[in-house]
Amino acid sequence: MTDDTAVEKKSIRADALRNEDALLEAAKEIFATSGVDAPVREIAARAGVGVGTLYRRFPKRSDLVVGVYKREVDACVKAAADFTGQYGPGDALTHWLKRYCQFIVTKKGLAAALYSGDPAFDALPAYFRANFEPTLQSLLQSAARAGEIRGDIDAFDLLRAIGNLASVGGTEGAEHTHRMLELMIDGLRFGAAKP
């Protein structure tokens, strides 16, 4: 185990922090359009930094990939709180499931990375589950308690089902995935026990 996370040592220069953020943002956009094998130079250029800067922060490509994915997981989890404060339990759940679906769909190279055999990605699936499962579980419980959906759905099952649903790529695939997701959401509603 390396202690590279959660150790905010002394002080990191402000520009270094800015650049790290810019790199993650640039990598996110480029990974989404060109996959995780996109040229390093392209990422550095979009972030407005030199490749040297990129390499100091992310010595291996996998560091960048892991960083981007964790960041997007966090953003997706955070969206749940936003939806919860903004909508009722049922709508919050619906909105979040669509948000989660979007997360999956835009991850071109995710499956490829996970199956690449590179041990650097071993921790990713656990991170996904550790963050998404409690989030969805909470949303499901709230909606079920409000009588808006059925109460016998396992969060992890649903996460995996949507993941499988979205495994067919392509532009028309996105349409298909969206329709199937709405079908599932209707299915959740159908079994609701109105109080």
- The residues that touch its own copies, with contacts defined as CB under 8 A, are 35, 108-109, 111-112, 114-117, 169
Return the number of the residue (37 or 186) whose C-beta is nearest DNA. Answer: 37
- Spatial CA neighbour of 141 closest among 103, 180, 188, 184: 188
Interaction of residue 51 with DNA, rule CB under 7 A: yes
Residue 108 interaction partner, one of DNA, its own copies, none, beta carbon < 5-8 Å per kind? its own copies
Asked if residue 175 binds DNA (CB under 7 A), the reply is no
Using alpha carbons, list the distances in angstroms from residue 23 to 69, 161, 173.
13, 32, 29
Largest Cα span, the chain:
61
Contact 162, 181 (CB under 8 A): yes
Q: Is residue 33 near DNA by the rule CB under 7 A?
A: no
Binds DNA by CB under 7 A, chosen from 21, 59, 123, 186: 59
Task: Work out how close the CB of 40 gets to its own copies at its nearest, in angstroms, rounded to a whole number.
Answer: 17
Please give the torsion angle defined by the CA atoms of residues 86, 89, 90 and 92, in that order, rounded to the nearest 10 degrees.
40
d(CA 151, CA 143): 8
Does 40 help bind DNA (rule: CB under 7 A)?
A: yes
Chain positions contacting DNA, by CB under 7 A = 10-16, 19, 37-41, 48-53, 55-57, 59-61
